[in-house]
Amino acid sequence: MLICPCHRLLQVTLAAAALLRQKRSAVLVSSRPSPRPRSQAPGSLKCFLGVLKMEMTEMTGMSLKRGCLAMEDDDSAAPAEETKKQKVSECCLTKRQDGLQNDCLPNRENVPGPPEPVSAKRGKMTSDDQLEEEEEEEEDGLSEEGEEEEEAESFADMMKHGLTELDVGITKFVSSHQGFSGILKERYSDFVVHEIGKDGQISHLDDLSVPVDDEDPSEDVFTVLTAEEKQQLEELQLFKNKETSVAIEVIEDTKEKRTIIHQAIKSLFPGLETKTEDREGRKYIVAYHAAGKKALANPRKHSWPKSRGSYCHFVLYKENKDTMDAINVLSKYLRVKPNIFSYMGTKDKRAITVQEIAVLKITAQRLAHLNKCLMNFKLGNFSYQKNPLKLGELQGNHFTVVLRNITGTDDQVQQAMNSLKEIGFINYYGMQRFGTTAVPTYQVGRAILQNSWTEVMDLILKPRSGAEKGYLVKCREEWAKTKDPAAALRKLPVKRCVEGQLLRGLSKYGMKNIVSAFGIIPRNNRLMYIHSYQSYVWNNMVSKRIEDYGLKPVPGDLVLKGATATYIEEEDVDNYSIHDVVMPLPGFDVIYPKHKISEAYREMLTADNLDIDNMRHKIRDYSLSGAYRKIIIRPQNVSWEVVAYDDPKIPLFNTDVDNLEGKPPPVFASEGKYRALKMDFSLPPSTYATMAIREVLKMDTSIKNQTQMNTTWLR
C-alpha cells in the first residue's frame, strides 16, 4: 500500500509531539531547572527535530486532492528552513570554536560593523549607536533557543492562515482543458531557474576554471596565516578591539615568505595595510588600518591592476537560498560589504537557480576558493568586466520544472501543455507578492498611500496568525503589551527584518515621528508594500476585464506602441490579439481603458479612500507613477515530457553541477509507480512561473488552500 505524503507528514508530526511531551515531562521533575545552553540539548531530540524540520520542509509542497495545487514559491512558506545556518564543508572547520582555519570560515562570533573612528572617544555610546551596533552584530540565520519545539508543534496550525487566490483577485483561467493534480517542489531540486541575460543567452554554470592572471597572488595566501592570526586580523579589521595593529612574526625570513604574508593580509582583509618591521633582531609583518571604516565598502584601488576590469562577473549556482541571502553569505566569507555585489534579478529560495553576479575588485581566484568551502553554492564562468550589473537588465528566466505524481492522463497533459504553449496564461502577480500571514502586504501598502502612518505601524507590528518564527511572535506580543519599541526590539535576535528596523526607527525618532522611523527600512522593502497594493488592484481588474470581455481585444483596450500606451479603436480591433493588450497599474502617469473597466478602477480606489486622479504622495518615494503589464503571457521555448519513476526521491533531470561532475542523465522505465510531468519554458522578467503552472493544473496556489485540503484529506 502506498503511503501518501500527507500521511507521512502526520506520522512525523505526531511522533514529534509525543517526543516533545516526554521531554517536557522530564523537565517538570525538577522544580527549578537550570538553563541549558543550546549546544547541550539532548542529542537524540535535537537530531530528531532537525529531521522533522527537513521532513516538514520537503513536504510543504505535497500531493493534494483535485482542487488544490501543491506549491510553495517563496521562502516564507518554509519557516523551518529559515533557521538553518549555512553549512560549511570540512575544509573550513576548525578545532577552535572561535577560530579561523582558512579564508573560507568567518569568525563564529557576531560580526559588528565598524564603530566610530579610532581617533574619536570610545567610552561613550548613545542608545542609537547601540541599536545600530546591535543590528550590525546580528548573525543571519540566528534562531532562538527552543524554537525547534515551537515549530514542531505549531507548523500545521500556522500554515492554515493567510490568503487564498480569491483574496487577491486571482480567479480566472484562459484554457478549457480539464485540470489534474501534481506535486510541485516536493524537492527544491524539482524547480530550476536559469537566468536569461541581456544578450538573450541562458546562463549556465559550465566552467570552474579561473582566468590566468600573472598579477594574482599565489594559492599560498589562503594557508600562510594560522587560525589565531586570522582571528586577530579579523578583529582588527572589524574594529572589534582597541588594538591599532597586529604584528605577525616571520619565522622563515625570506623575501618570498614576507611577500606572501603581505599579499595574504591585504587580499583576505580589505581595509588593512601592512609594513615590515625589525624588533629585537626579528622580522615582523605589521597590519594596521589605513583608510578607516570606509575601507570595507571600498576595496583598495592601488592593489587592483589598472589593465583589468574593476568587476569580476561570475555565474552563481545556488540551492535553497534566495539571492540576498546568498549575497550575505558570500560577503561574510569574503569579509566585504554586500553592497559591492550587483545582479540583474532576484531568484527564489526553494529552487536551484543559476544567475550572473558581479562583484567589485574581488579576484576570480578568491571567489573560486569558496567552492572548496561552501555547500549548496558553486561559482564559475569568471570574467573581468568594466561595469557592474543592473537590476532589470535580464531578458527573463528559463524554468525547468518537475510536477511529480501527476494524475492527469496523457491526453489531459497534452491538452494542458498545448494550451500553455499556444494561448499562455493570465499574467497575475503570484501569491508570494502578498505575504503568508493574516496581514497581507497590500494592506500595509494601502495604508501608506492613505498616509495613515499609525495604521502602517500597527499592521507591521501587531500580533497575527500565520507562518512566523517564534521570536517574531514574542516581539509582537511585547509590542502589543507595552508599545515600547526598545523592549520589543530586545525580543528579536535578528534585527534586519522589517519589524526590527521599524522598531529601531521608533526607538530613534519616537512614536510621534513614524514616517522617519519607517524610513529606516531599506527603500526597496518600503516600496514593496505599495507595489503589492498595485498588484492587488491589477489582479482584480484583470479578472474583471476577462470576465466582462473574454479573450479578445475590444475597442477601448490599451496596447503599447514602444513605451506609450494607446487605445484600440473600433476599426483597428482586428489588427491586435489578446497578447497585445495591457492593463495599467494605478498611478499618476498612466491612462485607463476606455470601457467600463476604467470605472471599476475608480470604484476600487475610491472604496480604499484613494483618489485615482491624484496618485502623488506627500512623500515623493510613495508617489505612484504606474506602469503597464500584459494581461496574457505566452511562454517561449516550451517543451515537456511525461516520465515514469518508482523512487519519489530520485532526481528526474541533471543540474549544471551534475553535468560538471559527469553524472549520467537519469534513465526512465517505460512503466513505474508514479508519473511526472517535466516541463521547460522561458518567461520575461516579473512574471510568475507558479501562475503558468496554475494554468496547467487548474489549481489554487495559496498555502492556506493547500493546508485546508490536506486537513480534509487526512480526516
Interatomic CA distance for residues 161 and 438, integer angstroms: 6
What is residue 428's DSSP assignment?
Answer: P
CB < 8 Å & 24+ apart, contacts of 410-417: 410/642, 412/177, 412/178, 412/180, 413/180, 413/640, 413/642, 413/677, 415/175, 415/177, 415/178, 416/175, 416/177, 416/179, 416/180, 416/695, 416/696, 416/697, 417/638, 417/640, 417/677, 417/679, 417/696
User: How many angstroms separate the CA atoms of 687 and 397, rounded?
Assistant: 9
* Helices of type H across 335-484: 364-369, 410-422, 441-449, 453-461, 470-482
Of the candidates 166, 191, 154, 160, the residue with the CA atom closest to the CA atom of residue 58: 191
Closest CA to 416 of 240, 248, 173: 173
Alpha carbon 211 to chain centroid distance? 30
Side chain identity at residue 629, one-letter code = R
The catalytic residue among 73, 322, 348, 557 is: 348
| Residue pair 636/677 in contact by the 8 Å Cβ criterion | no
User: What cell numbers appear for 211 in the block?
Assistant: 582566468
Any alpha helices (H) in 435-522, and if so which ranges?
441-449, 453-461, 470-482, 485-489, 498-509, 514-518
348 in catalytic set:
yes
Q: Under the phi-then-psi rule, with left for phi > 0, alpha for psi from -120 to 50, and beta for the rest, what region is 466?
A: left
Among residues 685, 86, 679, which one has the least CA distance to residue 406? 679
Q: Are 682 and 398 in contact (CB under 8 A)?
A: yes
SS3 (DSSP) at 209: coil
Are residues 330 and 341 in contact, defined by beta-carbon separation less than 8 angstroms?
A: yes
What's the grid cell of residue 154? 505549531
Amino acid at 149: E
DSSP of 300-344 = -STTS-TTS-SEEEEEEEEES--HHHHHHHHHHHHTS-GGGEEES
Calpha distance 557→564 (Å, rounded): 14
**Amino acid at residue number 588:** F
Q: Give the whole-angstrom CA distance, residue 616 versus residue 320.
A: 39
Distance CA 150, CA 132 (A): 29
Position 181, amino acid: S
Quote the cell numbers at residue 166.
480569491
Q: Catalytic positions, please? A: 348
